[in-house]
Structure 1
C-alpha cells in the first residue's frame, strides 16, 4: 500500500463538507447551497485579510532593519555614546542575522503543535520589539545599541513574522502562493523605500532618543492593527488540537534530496553579499561620492524602490501558467544579474560618480531585492518532487529553513566584519574621499 501524500503546513482551508456528499445529491435546494457560498465568501475575505495584514506588518518587522543605514550614517556624525563607534557597523547585519537564524525554530514551533497560539505569539513579538526600542532610547554605551537594536528587536520582529507568514502560506497553499509572497515582499520594499526618509526626519527633528520612542509608537500602532487581520485557518487549528501528538511530527524526507541543499547554498551566498550595500550604501554615498545627507538617504530609497516591482515580478514568473519558468531559472536570473550589477557599477564608482551609484542602486536593488520572491517557486518545485516520490512535506517548515539559510549568510557577513575584512574597506571610504 502506498504512503498517503499530505501537505502539512500550507493546506487549503476546508469548506466544511465532503465532495463525495455533493455528488450523491444532484439536486440541492437554495437553502442547502447558501451556507457553502457563505463559507466561500468568508474564506476569500480571510485570504485577502491575511494578505493585507502581512503587507502592513512589513513596516514594524522590517522598517528599522532595512533603514539601519540611516542610523549608521547618523552615528558617524553624532556620536554621543561610550565605546568604539565602529562597532555600530555590526548592528544592521546582527539584526538581520538574528531574525533569519531564529526563523527555523519559530516556524517549527508554530507549524503544528502551537498553531493555535500564532496570534498570541505575534502580539508578544510586538511587545518585545517595542520594549527593545524603548530601552534603546536610554542607551549610553555602544553595547546597549547592539543588544537592543541588533538582538532584542530582531527577536521580537521574528516572533511577529514567523506565525503570520505561516498563516499566509496556508491561505494560499493551492494557487498563487508565489504571487502572494511576492506582493508581501513588494510591501517590504515599499517600507524600505519610505522608512529611511521617515527615520531621517525623526532623527533630525527630535534627536536619537525621541526618534526611538516615536518609532516604538509606530511599531505598536501598525503591528497591533495588522496582527488581528491575519487569522489562522480553522482547519489548521482543528488539526493541531485534535490530532494525536505522533501525527504532529514534521516530516524531514526533503533533507535526503539534493534540491534542498542546492537552493540553501545559493541563498547563503546571495544573502552574504546582499547585506553589504544595505548597511553601508548611505555612508559610502556620503563619504566617497561626497553627497549631502539628504541625497545619501535618497540612495537607500533608490536601492529599495525597485524591489517593489521585482518581488511581484519574480513571484509572477514562478506562478505564471502561460510561460512558467523553473525555480532554478528564476533564481539564476536574479543572482547573476545582481552580481553583474555590483561588479560593473559599484566596482567602478569613484568620488563624484553619482550616476554610477544610482545605476548600481537601481539594478542591484531590482535583481537582488527580488531574490526572496523566488522562494515560492522553490517551494512549489520541492512540493512537486515530494508528490512524485510519494512523500509528505511540510512546506511551512521548508520556508522557515530557507529563511534560516539567509540568516547563515548574514552571520557569515558578520564574521567578515568582526575579522576586519570589510572594516578595512569601510575605513578606506573616508581616506578615498580625502584623495
Structure 2
C-alpha cells in the first residue's frame, strides 16, 4: 500500500463515531426545541391567565366602583320606602363585605379546596347575577342593602378569591407585583368606564332595567374570565397524601401588623370620595349631572397608570423602592390632595374637583398595588429566618384588613355627614356638611403611610445602640 493511500485511510473518520455525533447533535437540537416550545407555551398560558384576571375586574368591581352614580340616582328619583340617608352605606358595605370575607375564602382555596377554585368562581358569578336581578325588584331600602351591599358582594368575593390565588401562583417565580399591578390597572379602567355606562342605562331605562342589564353583562364577562384562569398544577393536591397545612409563621412578624394597620386606616378613608364625590359636586359646587358623573370617571382613570407604575417599582430588579416608601408616597400624597384640593373647593369650582380627582385617584387608587412589594418584603424576611410563608394567605389577610377599613369608614360616614350639617369648619368645602368627611378622608389616607414613621423610629433606636 502506498504512503498516500495509508494517509487517506488514516484520516477517514470512523463510521460509528460520526453517526453517534450526528445523533447527539440532533438530540440536543430536539431538546432545545422542546425547551423553547415549553417556555413559549408557558408564557402564552400566563398571558391568557393575566387577560382572564383582568377581564374579571369588570363583574367583580364594576358596580362597587360606580355606586356613586346609583346613589345620586336614588336621591333624585326616590321611590323606595325607608330613609334616604341609608343609601350612603351600600357602597362601603359592599366593599367591606367583599374584603372581610376574603381571608376566609383565601384560606379555603389555598390548600384544602384548591381543586374547586373554578367551580367556586362559577358559583360566585351566579350569586352576582341573581343578587342584581333580585335587587331590581326592591321596594324598600333594606332590600338594596341586602342584595347590593351583602349578597352581591359575597358573590364577587367568591369569584375574586380563587382567581386571584391562581394568578399569584402562576406568577410566583417572577413579576408577581407587576401582574397584580396590571389587574389593578384594569380595575381602574372598569371604574372609569362603568359610571358612564350605568348613567346611560339609568337615565334611559331606570334602575330596575339597568340592574338587569348589568346582571347580563356580569354573566358573560364572568364566564370568559373563569375559563381563562385555570388552577396551577403545582397547587393541585395529590389524591391520597396527607393534608397540607398553611404556614402561619408570618403572623409572628411585626412587619405584617404594621402594614395591616396602615391598610385599615387608608381604606377607612379611601371609600369616602367614591361614595360622596358625585353628590358633593351636585349639592355643594352645583355642577351638572354630567359633570358629577365625569368626576367619577376622572377619579379612576389615573389609577390605570398609577397601579402599573407602583407595581413595577415594587418588582423592578434594577431600581426597587421599598414597600414602606411606596405606601408612604401613596398615602401622604393622597392625603394632601384631600386637604388642599377637595377641602378648598367652592361653588362652581370644577377645576379644583378635577385636580383632586386626578391626584387622589392616582395616589390613593394605586395603594393596593404596593401590596406586591409588601409580600416580597415578607418573603425575604421569611427566607432570612428559614421559615415557610404562604403568599396567597398573606394576600387574603391584607384584603381582610382593607375590609375592616371599608366597613369602619362606611359606619363613620353617616354620623360625620350629620355632624357637618350642624357645625361649620370654615369656608369652602370645609364649611359644608361634607367638611368632617373631607377632614376624615385626608387624615385617614395620610395615616396609611405610618409604616414609614415606624420604620424610621426603629432605625434611629438601632443607630443609638
Q: Same fold (TM over 0.5)?
A: yes
Mapped partners of 1:203, 1:163: distance in 2: 32
Q: Which residue of 1 aligns with 2:416?
A: 421
Mapped partners of 1:195, 1:423: distance in 2: 30
Q: Which residue of 1 aligns with 2:407?
A: 411
Mapped partners of 1:218, 1:426: distance in 2: 39
1:8-33: CA deviations, max 9, x gaps?
Answer: xxxxxxxxxxxxxxxxx999444445
Mapped partners of 2:129, 2:421: distance in 1: 31
Mapped partners of 2:246, 2:100: distance in 1: 19
Q: Which residue of 1 aligns with 2:242?
A: 244
Q: Which residue of 2 aligns with 1:330?
A: 326
| Contact 1:63–1:192 under 8 Å retained in 2 | yes
Q: Which residue of 1 aligns with 2:149?
A: 150
Matched, 1:366 2:362: yes
Q: Which residue of 2 aligns with 1:225?
A: 224
- Structure 1 unaligned spans of 5+: 1-24
Q: Residues 54-93 of structure 1: matches in 2 within 5 Å?
A: 54-93=53-92
Q: Which residue of 2 aligns with 1:3?
A: none
Q: Which residue of 2 aligns with 1:190?
A: 189
| Contact 1:113–1:240 under 8 Å retained in 2 | no
Cα distance 1:235–1:432, how it changes in 2: closer, same or farther (>3 A)?
Answer: closer
Cα distance 1:425–1:71, how it changes in 2: closer, same or farther (>3 A)?
Answer: farther
TM-score normalised by the chain length of structure 1 = 0.90
Secondary structure of the equivalent of 1:79? Answer: coil
| Contact 1:282–1:300 under 8 Å retained in 2 | yes
Mapped partners of 2:286, 2:87: distance in 1: 21
TM-score normalised by the chain length of structure 2 = 0.84
1:228-280: CA deviations, max 9, x gaps?
Answer: 0001111211x3545411xx111111111100000001000000010000100
Shift in Å at residue 38 of structure 1?
3.4
Matched, 1:285 2:284: no
Shift in Å at residue 323 of structure 1?
1.4
Number of aligned residue pairs: 404
Mapped partners of 2:388, 2:45: distance in 1: 26
| Contact 1:268–1:409 under 8 Å retained in 2 | yes
Bigger RCO of structures 1 and 2 (CA < 8 A, at least 6 apart)? 1
Larger radius of gyration, structure 1 or 2?
2
Secondary structure of the equivalent of 2:286? Answer: coil
Cα distance 1:164–1:26, how it changes in 2: closer, same or farther (>3 A)?
Answer: farther
1:152-193: CA deviations, max 9, x gaps?
Answer: 000000011000000000011111111110000000000000
Larger displacement relative to structure 2 (133-142 or 26-35): 26-35
| Contact 1:125–1:156 under 8 Å retained in 2 | yes
- Structure 2 unaligned spans of 5+: 1-23, 424-428, 434-465
| Contact 1:53–1:227 under 8 Å retained in 2 | yes
1:13-62: CA deviations, max 9, x gaps?
Answer: xxxxxxxxxxxx99944444544443322221221111000101100000
Q: Which residue of 2 aligns with 1:139?
A: 138
| Contact 1:94–1:414 under 8 Å retained in 2 | yes
Secondary structure of the equivalent of 1:174? Answer: coil
Cα distance 1:324–1:150, how it changes in 2: closer, same or farther (>3 A)?
Answer: same
